[in-house]
Structure 1
Amino acid sequence: MAVETRRTPDVDRQLAGLDALQLTAGTRRGLPARLWSAAWPMLAAVAIAVGAWELVVLSGWKEPWVLPGPRQVLPEFWRVVTDGSFWAAVGLTMRRAAVGFAVAIVIGTAIGAVVSRSKIARRAFGSLITGLQTMPSIAWFPLAILLFQLSESAILFVVVLGAAPSIANGLIAGVDYTPPILLRAGKVMGLRGLALYRHLILPASLPSFVAGLKQGWAFAWRSLMAGELLVIIGDTQSVGTLLHFARELSDTERMISVMIVILIIGVLVDQLFGLADRTLRERWGVNTETD
């Protein structure tokens, strides 16, 4: 005997409201609206920072030649970024960053893969990797200069040492949080050795690995800037040497302009890592962000 159920008007209104909410949440806005949604928080942050900077200058805390305001620095910033030699210096710095970070990825991934799957290696080197990660990059430069003199190798040496431990720890953390049931399923399907890493462990550990890459880049960038300030190679021009000579000449406007460029490069690379992270989360179906 079938039982007939009737919905009351209140229930109908509530269901209609839920349906409307679901449809609204699933609606994607156009490209201009999404670009503005992504840009306005950053623009607001820049405006707040510039306003705070101007207020500090107006307070008279430091003399204008020690701490110039935005009105003095921004014209110099424009002159710096429109100079062709400046972009040649940026190109050299980014080439060093790319080479050092690529070498760090290879070394960090290899170390992380070995340590994550070997109990003996973890007991022997796990704490050492973390210790290397926390060691200030500036502390490596006396040894680097002693080993490689004032050369590209000295800078590369410190960049790799700064980035590789973070990348290794990111992979180790990702492997540690791989569900054991996936490992058992992979072994049942015949995955062993490199095949197990390629088809199961590395994909499962990608979120933590990407986080390790992002942190590794931060350490690599900081190490590179320190290296270019300390290791001056002949008459080569890089972002770090521009900052160094501006400081030596007490050209504060130019010095702050170069610092702004360093900050902008860091923000742009962070956006690239953010894009990779969002793409990964969307592929995994765990992206909870709304447009």
Structure 2
Amino acid sequence: MTTEGELYLGVDGGGTGCRARLVDGAGRRLGDGKAGAANIRLGLDASWRQILVAADEALAEAGLDRRAFPRIHAGLGLAGITDAADAARVVVAAPDFAHVAAETDAHTACLGAFGGRDGAILILGTGSAGYALVGGCGHPIGGWGFEISDDGSGAQLGREAIRAAVRAYDGLGPESDLTRAIMARLGGHPPQVVAWVGGAKPGDYGSLAPTVLDHAGAGDPVATALVQATADHVAHFVDRLLALGAAHDRRGRVALMGGLAPAITGWLAPRTRACLAAPEGDAMDGAILLARRQSAAP
């Protein structure tokens, strides 16, 4: 397979990891790569370092290196981008690609899920973000960061598990296998938990979500309540996205994406599950579509 001619790089950068995909002009996949967190709120330089690690892996798989940059059109969907000014800062900091387009990770995920057509997505990963494309216009919902948003996310689920563990330790809430497991993992006593929290990032909180889900699956009452609360947040998101007009043929058109999505789907009420659609592609497909569209624009 030839790698001559124009190339397109799609990047999906989240709070836990970064993925990159390289395709040729015909859309044939040439290589994939992955790296660490690329949320620009963790620092723009740090984000670009991870983007380039993932890009280098994708290039290497295609038998290429950075000498191919001048013919690569890059599309970036990054967590932490909240407005056009953020996107512009990302583009200005880019290396010498042929063209760079940057958007929120929610926008590129929605493009990928519906091939650029109208629809809505809800990303459930370390963070959470909803996004609806209606009449070609984007409507972001949530995704404003761990401190004030991210309902229904892995990070929020991990944080609530810590809160439950500390309440149980103080006798202010029920104790269970989950609360004991969380407390033990973070040092065994509240002072150790406070020290852990002092340096924790959203991804660290999100790393506790699998433990909560495992205990919920085993019937732990505290874990079950936490996961059900997360599912309720997801249902609220879906209702809002539908209200914005993300509907198709009398049915909802909302795709759940992200690492937490498969685990949480089974906890949703039948009414909400009936509104879901399977994504046609992923966020890297959407980032490639973004790169194609913007590089072709006047």
Verify same fold: TM over 0.5: no
Query: For the pair shown, which has the larger CA radius of gyration, 1 or 2?
Result: 1
Higher helix share: 1
TM-score range, shorter chain: under 0.3
